[in-house]
Amino acid sequence: MTSMIARHTCCAALIASALATMFAAPAVASSHREAPFITRTPKVDGTDFYMFRSYEANRAGFVTMIANYAPLQDAYGGPNYFAMDSDALYEIHINNNGNGKEQLTFQFRFKNENKNTQLTVGGKKVSIPLVINGGAISGPNAAGANVRETYTVDLVSGDRRTGTRAAITNASGGSAVFDKPLDNIGNKSIPDYAAYAAQHVVSINIPGCTTPGRMFVGQRKDPFVVNLGETFDLINIKYPATQLAPNGVDGEKSGHDDLADKNITSIELEVPTACLTNGTEPVIGGWTTASVRQGRLINPTPNTSKASKEGGAWTQVSRLGAPLVNEVVIGLKDKDQFNHSVPSGDGQFIDYVTNPTLPALIEILYPVAKAPTNFPRNDLIAAFLTGVKGVNQPANVVASEMLRLNTSIDPTAPAAQKRLGVIGGDNAGFPNGRRPGDDVVDIALRVVMGRLCTLNIGCVPGDAPAGTFDFTDGAYLDYTFFDNAFPYLKTPIAGSLKH
């Protein structure tokens, strides 16, 4: 009998590990290419959103927000590389009273200028085909660059379309126009990219704030980590997180990161905490969106002007708060609708949270991994829609999906951070906001299969037979993958390493 129980336990663990990988399959990444329509407009595809109390030394009074866009950037992707969409509106929204609506919105608009560098060839001046020309680039708007990408930022108080608008300005000189660095073309064009990018970290004056913040917009190494190839190869991982894989590597570190060679474009803000809260409620909610004009007319003769004419109302096509929601919670038929929606209207998606389908599918395919039995899934309501009581739930809350951060909880120093956040015993981590080093894939896998029940959050241990399984995709992530100071995300991979 003992032998039989041991074999059953081993089998359950093996299946749990395999299921963890299978369950990650819909998540191409946190929100990379997650809905049918957004695959057609990658420049406005929001891929990850982070919001956390700054853990850089002497910056604990600030909140850092990072909104990533334009997924799966190959470093060698010239000659145009990955400029932002000058016809789009990129936004970071803050809710500070629990009602599911934005009270503050940071709006980013981009402008791409072709400087039309020309060479004299056979007595004629002819435009060059490349983004760069001539000497190395070492600073903003360098003479050697054939294009210049700039951006402006407005802070809107109240409704994002009708509220009071004021420009964010450079604390040095007062300009409202900021330069975005060129992507990391290669070491010959930009010999010291880290130093070049650092020149684009600016101190900013934020309307209504007496203390300056900081801002950076530019290409970074994609911070998300996920194992995809083995997932799609018929769940080709068969060892539990708690045991060694066949090659002797711990199960949580045994998977391949399929985004290891990809870059991303980041919009980063560091704002004084007091400028985001309402003065009485310490919990703030945040999410990022992108919108395009409702109408587009293609120009049949683009050599005379722009290739298209955009017009009409702003129409939201991308939305991201907490990670993995549109991937593993929202049904396929509603994924585009979720990207068009706002948190205050999330009642239309409630069945996906209270009665999730993926745990049920897992149980059908692998009966050993029993799905949680508590309905409605109050544990997932806490994780996705209200915040966890005693951690990041505001005093008055309307159920709505967003990333919630309790700004009264002190940040955890990098070396002490737990990559599993709250379920790992670190209340400064996900789902209390999200830090770059929070392994949200492993966290989400364990939560959706009932880990919160084992902590008596919204349910009890008996409701989650697989709640203690250490589900993992094997792609390891923690704070060591990132810098310990703003802008936190690593220097992007260079398109060419030769010099």
- The confidence band for 4, taking pLDDT boundaries of 50, 70 and 90, is very low
Phi/psi at 207 (5° precision):
-55, 130
Neighbours of 304 (CB within 10 A): 7
Q: What would the mean pLDDT of 119-138 be, rounded to a whole number?
A: 86
pLDDT-based confidence at residue 140 (cuts at 50, 70, 90): very high
Lowest mean pLDDT among 14-23, 76-85, 472-481: 14-23
Q: What are phi and psi of 383, to 5 degrees?
A: -65, -40
Token digits of residue 421? 């956040």
Q: Are 288 and 93 in contact (CB under 8 A)?
A: yes
Nearest one of 283, 281, 279 to 391, comparing CA atoms = 283
pLDDT at res. 229 = 61
- Say if residue 9's pLDDT is above 60: no
Q: What is the pLDDT of residue 111?
A: 96
- The rounded mean pLDDT for the chain is 87
179 pLDDT above the threshold of 60: yes
Q: Look at residue 164 in the predicted model and tell me its pLDDT.
A: 97
CA distance 270 to 242: 38
**290: nearest Cα among 160, 178, 169:** 160
499 in Cβ contact with 191 (< 8 Å) = yes
Give me the pLDDT at residue 404, please. Answer: 98
- Cα→Cα distances 58→54, 184, 204, 282, 374, Å: 9, 30, 18, 20, 44
What HEC string does the chain produce? CHHHHHHHHHHHHHHHHHHHHHHHCCCCCCCCCCCCHHHHCHHHCEEEEEEEECCCCCCCCEEEEEEEEEEEEECCCCCCCCCCCCCEEEEEEEECCCCCCCCEEEEEEEEEEECCCEEEECCEEEECCCCECCCCCCCCCCCCECEEEEEEEEEEECCCCCCEEEECEECCCCCCCEEECCCCCCCCCCCCHHHHHHCCCEEEECCCCCCCEEEEEEEEECCCCCCCHHHHCCCCCCCCCCCECCCCCEHHHCCCCCCCCEEEEEEEEEEEHHHCCCCCCCEEEEEEEEEEEEEEEECCCCCCCCCEEEEEEEEEEEEECCCCHHHHCCCHHHHHHHHHCCHHHHHHHHHHHHCCCHHHHHHHHCCCCCCCCCCCCHHHHHHHHHCCCCCCCCCCCCCCCCEEEECCCCCCCHHHCCCCHHHHCCCCCCCECECCCCCHHHHHHHHHCCHHHHCCCCCCHHHCCCCCCCCCCCCCCCHHHCCCCCCCCCCCCCCCCCC
pLDDT tens across 452-476, in order?
Answer: 999 999 999 999 999 998 878 788 8
Structure confidence at residue 29 as a pLDDT band (50, 70, 90): low
d(CA 167, CA 85): 20
Tell me the pLDDT tens digit for each residue of 323-370.
988 887 888 899 899 999 999 999 999 999 999 987 887 677 667 778
Which residues lie across from 318 on neighbouring strands? 290
- Confidence band for 372, pLDDT divided at 50, 70 and 90: very high
Which of residues 268 and 38 earns the better pLDDT score? 268
- Report the alpha-carbon distance of residue 79 to residue 461 in Å, rounded: 55
Among the listed residues 405, 398, 440, the one whose alpha carbon sits nearest the alpha carbon of residue 423: 440
Token digits of residue 95: 């809710």
Tell me the per-residue pLDDT of 217-262, one tens digit each, with 9 for 90 and over. 999 999 988 776 655 454 444 444 555 455 555 667 767 788 889 9
What is the rounded CA–CA span in Å between residue 70 and residue 39?
10
User: What token pair was written down for 167?
Assistant: 């420009």
Query: Predicted confidence band at 25 (pLDDT cuts at 50, 70, 90)?
Result: very low
Mean pLDDT computed over 391-410: 97
Q: Enumerate residues 6+ apart whose C-beta is below 8 A from 468.
A: 451, 454
- Give the span between the Cα atoms of 35 and 336, in whole angstroms: 6
pLDDT tens digits for range 204-218: 999 999 999 999 999
The token pair at 485 is: 């100071």
Whether the predicted pLDDT of 20 surpasses 50: no
State the Cα angle at 470 between 466 and 476, rounded to 5°: 150
Record the tokens describing residue 75, joined without a space: 């470093």
Distance from chain centroid for Cα 136: 32
Res. 24: pLDDT tops 50: no
CB atoms within 10 A of CB 341: 18
Asked if 60 and 269 touch (Cβ cutoff 8 Å), the reply is no
Contacts of 367 (CB under 8 A, 6+ apart): none
CA distance 306 to 408: 49
Nearest to 147 by CA among 135, 129, 164, 161: 129
Q: What is the mean pLDDT of residues 293-314?
A: 88
